[in-house]
C-alpha cells in the first residue's frame, strides 16, 4: 500500500511579522528581533444568488477579523443594506495560489447582485475623485441624519483615549496600527479593532455589529486613535453613531459632514482638554 503524503498546512495570516533589525541607541548598536504590523492585500468578492463571485475591491489590511472587515466595508458603502441580504461569508477556496487563500473573502448574498452602479460610486469615492460637496450629497442619498437622545458628561469624553489605548494590544506591541473602539454611554469599552488602515479598523467594528445583528449604534460612542477624515464620519453615519471622539484633528470635510448629519465631533482629546467641533448639546460640560 502506497502511503500518501499529508497535504502541507495552509499558511496562517498573522497580524504581526517578526523581523531582525539593527538598533542604534546612542553609541550602542545591536542586532535584535523586532515586531512589525503585518500589511497584506485582501480581495473582497461578492456572489449573488445563482451567480459567480465577482471581485469588487482590494484593500490593504492587517490580517484578523477579515469577515468583519468585508461585511462592514460593503455595508458602509451601501452594497449590503440589511441583515437579510447576507447569506454567508467565507475565505475563497478557488484561488490558484494556495498561499493567498486567506487574502480573498467571498460575501454571498441572498439575492441577485446588481452592483455595477454602486461599484462606480464606491471606486470613485475610494479614489477621492469627487469634490467635498458632492461627497456629502451622495452620502445623504444613502443615509439620513443621525438622531439620538444620547448625552454624556465631559469626564467620560476625556477618559476615552486612554481606555482605547489599553485595548490596542497590537499597537502597544508594534507601534504601527490605527485603532477604533465602541464605548457605551458610561465610557465602558465594548469592542476594539486595529488595522494598518484607519478606515479598515472602523469597517471591522461595523462588520462585527452587523454580524451580531446589533445595528444601528445610536446609543454608542466611536473612539479613534488618530485624525478624523470624511470617510470615517461617513462610516459612522451609516452605522448611526452619534458621537465621535478622537485624539487628533478632523478635516474640514469631516467637520462639514458631521455638522450636516447630526454627529457630535470631538477632537484633540487629551487628559484635561478637548475640542468639540459640532453638536455640543450632547455633552454635559459640568465638572
- Here the cell at position 16 is 504581526
Mean pLDDT of 238-247: 97
| SS3 label, residue 221 | strand
Q: How confident is the model at residue 117 (pLDDT cuts 50, 70, 90)?
A: low
Residues present in the chain in total: 287
The CA distance from 121 to 109, in Å, is 20
H helix or E strand, kind and range, residue 86: strand 86-91
Nearest to 143 by CA among 48, 244, 260, 267: 260
Q: How confident is the model at residue 26 (pLDDT cuts 50, 70, 90)?
A: confident
Q: What is the pLDDT of residues 265-283, one digit of tens each?
A: 999 998 889 999 999 999 9
Mean pLDDT of 134-148: 79
In the predicted structure, residue 99 carries a pLDDT above the cut 60: yes
Query: Which of 4-13, 124-133, 192-201 has the highest mean predicted lDDT (pLDDT)?
Result: 192-201
In the predicted structure, residue 184 carries a pLDDT above the cut 50: yes
- Select which of 90, 92, 128, 131 is catalytic: 128
| pLDDT on residue 129 | 41
| pLDDT on residue 90 | 94
* Ranges of each domain in the chain: 40-140, 152-284
| pLDDT on residue 69 | 97
- The set of residues, in sequence order, having a beta carbon less than 8 Å from that of 236 and lying 6+ positions away, is 146, 202, 222, 244, 263
What value does the mean pLDDT of the chain take? 87
Question: 40-140 has which CATH code?
Answer: 3.10.20.10
Nearest to 193 by CA among 61, 91, 78: 61
| pLDDT on residue 133 | 57
Q: What is the pLDDT of residues 187-237, one digit of tens each?
A: 999 999 999 999 999 999 999 999 999 999 999 999 999 999 999 999 999
- Here the cell at position 180 is 477604533
Question: 152-284 has which CATH code?
Answer: 3.40.140.10
| pLDDT on residue 4 | 42
User: Can 90 be counted among the known catalytic residues?
Assistant: no
Amino acid at each position: 500500500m502506497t502511503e500518501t503524503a499529508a497535504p502541507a498546512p495552509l499558511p496562517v495570516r498573522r497580524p504581526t511579522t517578526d523581523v531582525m533589525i539593527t538598533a542604534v541607541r546612542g553609541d550602542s548598536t545591536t542586532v535584535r528581533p523586532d515586531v512589525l504590523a503585518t500589511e497584506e492585500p485582501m480581495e473582497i468578492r461578492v456572489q449573488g444568488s445563482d451567480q459567480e463571485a465577482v471581485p469588487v475591491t482590494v484593500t490593504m489590511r492587517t490580517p484578523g477579523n477579515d469577515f468583519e472587515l468585508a461585511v462592514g466595508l460593503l455595508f458602509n458603502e451601501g452594497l449590503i443594506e440589511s441583515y437579510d441580504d447576507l447569506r454567508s461569508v467565507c475565505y475563497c477556496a478557488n484561488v490558484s495560489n494556495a498561499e493567498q487563500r486567506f487574502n480573498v473573502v467571498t460575501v454571498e448574498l441572498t439575492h441577485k447582485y446588481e452592483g455595477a452602479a454602486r461599484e462606480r460610486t464606491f471606486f470613485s469615492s475610494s479614489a477621492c475623485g469627487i469634490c467635498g460637496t458632492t461627497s456629502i450629497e451622495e452620502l445623504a442619498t444613502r443615509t439620513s441624519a443621525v438622531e439620538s437622545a444620547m448625552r454624556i458628561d465631559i469626564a467620560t469624553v476625556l477618559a476615552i483615549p486612554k481606555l482605547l489605548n489599553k485595548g490596542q494590544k497590537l499597537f502597544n506591541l508594534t507601534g504601527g496600527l490605527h485603532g477604533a473602539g465602541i464605548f457605551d454611554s458610561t465610557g465602558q469599552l465594548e469592542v476594539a479593532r486595529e488595522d494598518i488602515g484607519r478606515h479598515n479598523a472602523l469597517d471591522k467594528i461595523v462588520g462585527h455589529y452587523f454580524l451580531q445583528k446589533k445595528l444601528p449604534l445610536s446609543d454608542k460612542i466611536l473612539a479613534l486613535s488618530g485624525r478624523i477624515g470624511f470617510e470615517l464620519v461617513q462610516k459612522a453615519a451609516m452605522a448611526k453613531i452619534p458621537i465621535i471622539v478622537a485624539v487628533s484633528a478632523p478635516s474640514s470635510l469631516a467637520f462639514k459632514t458631521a455638522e450636516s448629519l447630526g454627529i457630535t465631533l470631538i477632537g484633540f482629546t487629551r487628559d484635561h482638554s478637548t475640542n468639540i467641533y459640532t453638536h455640543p448639546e450632547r455633552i454635559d460640560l459640568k465638572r
